[in-house]
């Protein structure tokens, strides 16, 4: 749906006679996912989906209903009746908030006309070109080239309206040899064939350098995390720790922690040039820039409208991206400044081990190397680590420039050089 179609569709729903208040969210996606392994396409699927979510409020009662038959008038009418019927049976909840009723200016931070115009056959050609690079190097390639074309529209019976069109591209590729693998990605809004081929070359190069890994006995050591590894860790930390209510109620690592967290800043901003996103939330709130760490100092964390009202705080909605600033050093500079350490491409299967210290565990994956006297000397067997994000951020001694990363969440992350990082066991 374009802006006008979405506006008319939502207006039509809001005009249906109803008690109380109604919020309407409509979104649609057309996503082609071309998956390949062993240098050949293994799956190729086009997902076309639209959803309509109706949220009804009757004083302090709230309920929601989602359907996907947008062109079925009878189902839409039935859904409106159903959401109010369910809402009437809900017990009162003091945390239910009224609709905002704000009309938001349409932004296009995450829209690119050239990307929007890409066709199935072009994506197929690009995936085939990446596969050919692998075949030419006699290295197995596996990965995904995915392009999603989306829109999202919001309206409420208090007069609120918002609409945006956006895209999300994701290319990631793993190159596998006999005894090691390499990985690279290209994330963001736009995608070009050159980006895909460059990422494929990086993965192949890493794979070649990852063969015949040696054992590095796991111990605390200096580590250089490439941006994807930093993003893997910061995304988990953000969801586990950066909530103001949990902090205030004693349920967060920050409840009893008031010191600084290193010197970097950590924020969210839909207009971030490195990885822009849609600029409003599912309840029609505008998303602006939100600072979570200001040069290491903890700021007010994610704050819902209810918690903000109750505690006389500003609202800080859940964002669509996270960005960690860096000091701009190149990866080579970070390596050259390291006497003894480990270089990590990315992490895998990170899980919380202790919420009270933002403690996590995870594995290294697809390319880990020993650094000695400022040079990468040899690949090492992948390792498990156990580490607290509070310690990690305090132990950052140098950092790079934020780049786009994240298959699931939009992130802009720099490479980080961290001292005393706790590796605990070998993968094999």
Partner 1 sequence: MFDLLDQACAAARKAGCQYADARYLSIRKQRVLSRDLALSNCSESDDRGFGVRVLYRGAWGFASSPTFTSEEVSKVVALAMRIARASAMALREGGVKWAPEPAFKLSYKSKCEQDPFDVSLEDKAELLIAANEVMLKNNTVKRAQGYLGFKRVQRWYVNTEGSELHSNVTSSESMIWAIAVGKDDFQQRNWQAPASTQGFESYRKQDFLVQAERVAAQAEEKLSARLSPEGDFDIVTDSENLSLTIHESVGHATELDRVMGYEVSMAGSSFVTREKIGEFQYGSDQVTLMADNTLENGLATQGFDDDGVPGQRWEIVKDGIFQTYSTGREFAHYIGEERSRGSCRADHWSSIPIVRIPNLFLMPGKEALSPEELIADIKHGLYFEGMDSFSIDQRRLNFQFGGNAVWEIKNGKKIGMLKAALYQSRTPTFWNACDATCDERYWEPHGVTQCGKGDPLQIAQMTHGAAPTRFRKIRICRGRES
Residues 341-360, interacting with partner 1 (CB under 8 A): 348-357, 359
Kindly give, in sequence order, each residue whose CB lies less than 8 Å from that of residue 154, ignoring residues fewer than 6 positions away.
10, 23, 24, 25, 26, 160, 161, 162, 163, 280, 282, 283, 284
- Contact call for residue 367 and partner 1 (CB under 8 A): no
- Contact call for residue 125 and partner 1 (CB under 8 A): yes
Choose between 88 and 103: whose C-beta lies nearer to partner 1: 88
- Contact call for residue 200 and partner 1 (CB under 8 A): no
What is the footprint of partner 1 within residues 225-284 (CB under 8 A)? 249-251, 255-256
What is the footprint of partner 1 within residues 35-54 (CB under 8 A)? 35-51
Among 63, 118, 199, 396, binds partner 1 (CB under 8 A): 63
Choose between 49 and 336: whose C-beta lies nearer to partner 1: 49
- Contact call for residue 176 and partner 1 (CB under 8 A): yes
Choose between 63 and 334: whose C-beta lies nearer to partner 1: 63
Among 58, 70, 208, 286, binds partner 1 (CB under 8 A): 70
- Contact call for residue 300 and partner 1 (CB under 8 A): no
CA–centroid distance for 166 within its chain: 15
Most distant CA atoms of the chain, gap in Å:
74
Q: Which stretch binds partner 1 (CB under 8 A): 188-196, 235-243, 271-279, 379-387?
A: 379-387
Total binding residues for partner 1 by CB under 8 A? 93
Choose between 279 and 368: whose C-beta lies nearer to partner 1: 368
Among 386, 397, 409, 420, binds partner 1 (CB under 8 A): 386
- Contact call for residue 5 and partner 1 (CB under 8 A): no
- Contact call for residue 174 and partner 1 (CB under 8 A): yes
């Amino acid at each position: 749906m374009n802006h006008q179609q979405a506006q008319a569709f939502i207006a039509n729903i809001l005009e249906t006679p109803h008690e109380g208040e109604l919020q309407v969210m409509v979104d649609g996606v057309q996503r082609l996912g071309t998956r390949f392994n062993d240098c050949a396409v293994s799956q190729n699927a086009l997902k076309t989906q639209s959803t309509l979510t109706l949220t009804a409020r009757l004083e302090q009662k709230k309920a929601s209903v989602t359907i996907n038959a947008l062109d079925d008038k009878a189902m839409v009418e039935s859904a409106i009746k159903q959401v109010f019927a369910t809402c009437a049976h809900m017990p009162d909840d003091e945390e239910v908030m009224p609709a905002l009723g704000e009309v938001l200016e349409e932004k296009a931070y995450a829209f690119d006309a050239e990307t929007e115009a890409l066709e199935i056959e072009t994506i197929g050609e690009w995936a085939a070109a990446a596969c050919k690079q692998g075949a030419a190097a006699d290295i197995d390639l596996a990965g995904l080239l995915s392009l999603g074309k989306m829109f999202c529209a919001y309206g409420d019976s208090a007069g609120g309206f918002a609409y945006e069109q956006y895209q999300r591209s994701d290319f990631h590729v793993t190159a596998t040899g006999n005894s090691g693998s390499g990985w690279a990605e290209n994330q963001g809004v736009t995608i070009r064939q050159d980006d895909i081929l460059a990422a494929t070359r990086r993965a192949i190069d890493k794979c070649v350098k990852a063969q015949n890994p040696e054992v590095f006995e796991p111990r605390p050591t200096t580590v250089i995390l490439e941006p994807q590894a930093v993003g893997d860790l910061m995304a988990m930390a953000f969801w586990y720790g950066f909530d103001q209510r949990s902090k205030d109620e004693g349920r967060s690592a920050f409840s009893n922690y008031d010191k600084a967290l290193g010197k970097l800043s950590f924020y969210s901003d839909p207009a971030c040039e490195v990885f822009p996103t849609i600029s409003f939330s599912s309840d029609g709130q505008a998303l602006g820039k939100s600072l979570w760490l200001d040069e290491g100092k903890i700021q007010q964390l994610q704050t819902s409208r209810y918690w903000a009202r109750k505690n006389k705080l500003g609202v800080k909605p859940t964002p669509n991206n996270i960005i960690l600033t860096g000091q701009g050093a190149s990866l080579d500079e970070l390596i050259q400044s390291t006497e003894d350490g480990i270089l990590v491409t990315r992490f895998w299967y990170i899980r919380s081990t202790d919420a009270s210290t933002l403690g996590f565990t995870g594995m290294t994956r697809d390319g880990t190397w020993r650094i000695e006297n400022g040079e990468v000397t040899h690949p090492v067997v992948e390792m498990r680590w156990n580490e607290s994000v509070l310690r990690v951020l305090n132990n950052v001694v140098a950092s790079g420039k934020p780049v786009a990363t994240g298959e699931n969440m939009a992130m802009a992350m720099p490479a980080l050089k961290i001292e005393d990082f706790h590796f605990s066991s070998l993968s094999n």
